[in-house]
């Protein structure tokens, strides 16, 4: 703690990290506040896609689509849903062509289509 208090750079890095985590927690609370499975999972996917775009430097292969290396199990944990419920809901989203996924491949989210679906535009 003494080191943090004596180093301006360390203190700035600590506050920056704290703010990023707080912002992420607020987004997660917004996502979890949705009672409907499709909306909750859809908003989580949009959040993950936005985070992924911020963290990758290579160009996105297909405009408006983002590949997410995430499993149904991980989605279930993040969305506070059961694994079977996530699989069922993801099937609905895939049927509507909002997402694409296959065993052993990353989940691909059509961000504009999913956002439009969730907002009703």
**Residue 44 to residues 4, 14, 20, 28, 41, Cα–Cα distance (Å):** 34, 26, 17, 8, 5
Using the structure block, give the residue that is written with the tokens 């959040």.
Answer: 47
pTM: 0.71
**Residue 107 lies in domain:** 37-119
Considering the domain architecture, whether residues 82 and 26 belong to the same structural domain is answered as no
Q: What is the pLDDT of residues 28-56, one digit of tens each?
A: 777 767 668 899 999 999 999 988 876 55
Asked whether the predicted pLDDT for residue 84 surpasses 50, the reply is yes
Considering the domain architecture, whether residues 20 and 44 belong to the same structural domain is answered as no
Q: How far apart are CA 89 and CA 92, in angstroms?
A: 5
Considering the domain architecture, whether residues 22 and 43 belong to the same structural domain is answered as no
Considering the domain architecture, whether residues 44 and 103 belong to the same structural domain is answered as yes
Considering the domain architecture, whether residues 3 and 43 belong to the same structural domain is answered as no
Considering the domain architecture, whether residues 42 and 29 belong to the same structural domain is answered as no
């Amino acid at each position: 703690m003494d080191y943090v208090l004596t180093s301006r750079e360390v203190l700035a890095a600590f506050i920056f990290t704290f703010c990023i985590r707080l912002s992420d927690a607020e987004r997660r609370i917004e996502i979890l506040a949705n009672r409907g499975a499709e909306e909750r999972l859809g908003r989580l996917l949009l959040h993950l896609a936005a985070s992924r775009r911020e963290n990758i430097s290579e160009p996105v292969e297909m405009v408006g689509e983002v590949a997410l290396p995430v499993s149904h199990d991980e989605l279930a944990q993040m969305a506070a849903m059961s694994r079977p419920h996530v699989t069922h809901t993801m099937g609905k989203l895939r049927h509507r062509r909002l997402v694409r996924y296959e065993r052993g491949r990353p989940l691909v989210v059509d961000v504009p289509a999913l956002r439009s679906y969730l907002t009703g535009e």
